[in-house]
Chains A and B, each alone.
Chain A
């Protein structure tokens, strides 16, 4: 097979540039294989994050020819002819080469008010397949954070990171809001502090999701509709008044302890 040129961005917070590596291709290889070969030979200090190499852990996200992809699931023979550009995820601060500091996501994870189910019966909870299936789709998430990376709300507007949880956490909130046992109401929190309104549903998160989760259609839009229920729907508002259902405030919902 023909040789291929890899244009890999190398550098750190002080700056960097592309470096070209020419390597021989082998049958069936993915981008991560080629990166590993470069590490083992020309550049042992080429930084790249990876773990399972089977599309299950979501560690090796990078931008290949400008698009967020998992390096372990991108086959070389399916890329167009010519040099292959590999750059780190753009939205997160650089650590080195292809490795970025994704701690933004862990900070957002901490803010999620936990599941609040009723006490567990001795023989376990009863839930039904049709109910768990909705949440299971979101729990397929491997936390590669490519949806966060591609989302222009924070990719192009750094300041929004202060008040925007991002698609990965919207599916987490959707999962909890659709959980058949949960008793927490996070809708005000999602609107006020997690910045659901910043999402303009341009669907890039769904486009890049390696687990093919329908992030926009099945999580973000249903959340937006739930926020409408809670905030912008006079009929629902009236219904709540009549049934005297109290709403928990955002901060109350946030600090609810989990069992």
Chain B
């Protein structure tokens, strides 16, 4: 196809945007089918947020508990997601995760082992059995390094530190590629492709206390919306219950759930193990009633029921929030996480080496002797681009999405460990879907250079203004506003205020002035991220406004109970194509998929 791009131009069969677990897995799949694949990442290869996943990846291999199987995993996932999930994604995920995890070892992954040489699995919140394949507390790093090394050994073209601004269509409205710029030089570059896979991760950078890096600005969510795809469940944000709270500068940095899986417990300032007071009815039957029963469970899951510290993350985060509000918090506004009094120093250092170093070096706390101070931190967005479960295809032809940027898999709340397995299951499926699409000859036939021009013009505007605002000020204000108004606990008046303020932020972003040149200018980079951050924040606020109930990662103070009517719908956001990022967002109810009878029976079991 002849494309007269005024910029450096590359052409691929399949273009993958985002080099975390999902993007890399998609590349492998498409390359294995012999297609020409390009991979674009905003950072260096191997630095994606996937490395922050610590505890493990969930797969019902049954290596530790042979009773485990995909049906139990499916049920755990749906219940954890408060039944808001795309059941088909949860089903495929539960069925395919074991094979996806095992194949990683073909490419060099080295998981911790059981005595008989199989992959060891650990306990995590919401999973009935020990199910998480892991490597100490750095499983995400293992996953990304394995996939990265595989991708590199296949001779893939990787474009690093390349920020994608917009997706580009052909004349028929199919996605045909994208326009981006090199961060190192600030020069623009265009990519044409027959299919584009989004694997850009999450949106957490719009909150003040977050485990996300600067990259988590929701670029993929926003670009998909701008390109004509739908976003669902954007109000469902996971606040990980255990983030560091002190020193202030490290507030939000993740403390793995593995601490609790390996025996850690939560205490308030009175020294009370308070989680027993917060067991919701839905989980009462499978949760221990006393500390003695809970403690028996760690060694033998048949000797007692699960400790309440291992309830799904939304439950634990809300409990911590309530304790702090009731004045029983730690000195720096969190609660205490104690593993020191429960396990030996050797055990802690062997199982949780990076937690040990993290606290030692950043907070001066020896977790083998002292309790950690922790509190909820914005961690993950369950919502995302609405996709077809089998192919990861979005509503726009030629556009696919996998990983955190895709919605539906996790419903209203994600179980720990389901994220890494999500990446490899649906990363592969996105690759397969794109390959099928390309090989079916449906690929785009043109490349709309007007869209390129518009994106370039918008990106350069902050240099041309005589005066204007510092993008860092806007980002800081946005983070504070979202934390305060659309945080872990929400209420109508605050959400309404947030929606108003987001319009003000939009005006402020249109008036940004950037200092300096285009070469590696973080101020400018931030200015080009802000439209994405605002777009996804608007969707989150709108979803939060309309979901007048509490469910999973969405808690309304004014509607504290789950409402069965809302349990049947997602809120889907869309935008008229071609109108620019400030166009009005439309939010509609979208019914959930009907769960087939035989799967429904699994969910009813042991309810």
Contacts and interface: CB of A to CB of B under 8 A. Distances in A.
A contacts B: CB pair < 8 Å: yes
Contacts of A30: 249-250, 362
B102 A124 contact: yes
Contacts of A128: 113, 117
Contacts of A27: 247-248
A57 B51 contact: yes
B249 A26 contact: yes
Given A57-B51, A142-B141, A28 B111 contact: no
Interface stretch (B76-84, B307-315, B415-423, B469-477): B469-477
B106 A129 contact: no
B280 interface: no
Contacts of A9: none
Contacts of B152: 106, 109-110, 112
A112 B246 CA distance: 41
A114 B51 contact: no
B519 A96 contact: yes
B118 interface: yes
Contact of A51 (B113, B118, B214): B214
Given A44-B515, A136-B135, 19 more contacts: A30-B249, A40-B470, A40-B476, A44-B472, A44-B523, A45-B524, A49-B43, A51-B49, A54-B253, A106-B45, A106-B160, A117-B105, A120-B103, A126-B116, A126-B118, A127-B105, A140-B138, A176-B108, A258-B107
A115 B160 CA distance: 25
5 contacts: A53-B250, A55-B354, A99-B184, A110-B155, A120-B102
Contacts of A250: none
Contact of B107 (A12, A57, A115): A115
B493 interface: no
A112 B116 contact: no
B149 A45 contact: no
Interface in A186-202: none
B110 interface: yes
Given A44-B470, A101-B184, A125 B249 contact: no
A49 B470 contact: no
Interface in B125-153: 135-136, 138, 141-142, 145, 149-150, 152-153
B118 A124 contact: yes
A23 interface: no
A141 B110 CA distance: 13
Contacts, number: 187
Interface in A176-215: 176, 179, 181
Contacts of B471: 44
Given A97-B520, A132-B110, A258-B150, A50 B213 contact: yes
A167 interface: no
B119 A124 contact: yes
Interface in B33-63: 43-49, 51-52, 61
A73 B361 contact: yes
Interface of A: 12, 26-30, 33, 39-41, 43-59, 73, 75, 95-97, 99, 101-102, 106, 109-110, 112, 114-115, 117, 120, 123-129, 132, 135-136, 139-143, 175-176, 179, 181, 258-259
A219 B77 CA distance: 41
Contacts of B340: none
Nearest to B514: A44
A29 B362 contact: no
Contacts of B149: 109, 112, 114
Contacts of A132: 110-113
A148 B164 CA distance: 30
A126 B106 contact: no
Contact of A47 (B45, B141, B521): B521
Contacts of A26: 248-249
B517 interface: yes
A59 B51 CA distance: 12
A28 B248 contact: yes
B578 interface: no
B592 interface: no
B215 A96 contact: no
A30 B46 CA distance: 23
A40 B154 CA distance: 40
Contacts of B155: 110
B517 A45 contact: yes
B358 A54 contact: yes
A39 B522 contact: yes
B357 interface: yes
B363 interface: yes
B370 to A, nearest CB: 15
B12 to A, nearest CB: 19
A58 B145 CA distance: 13
B138 A56 contact: yes
A13 to B, nearest CB: 10
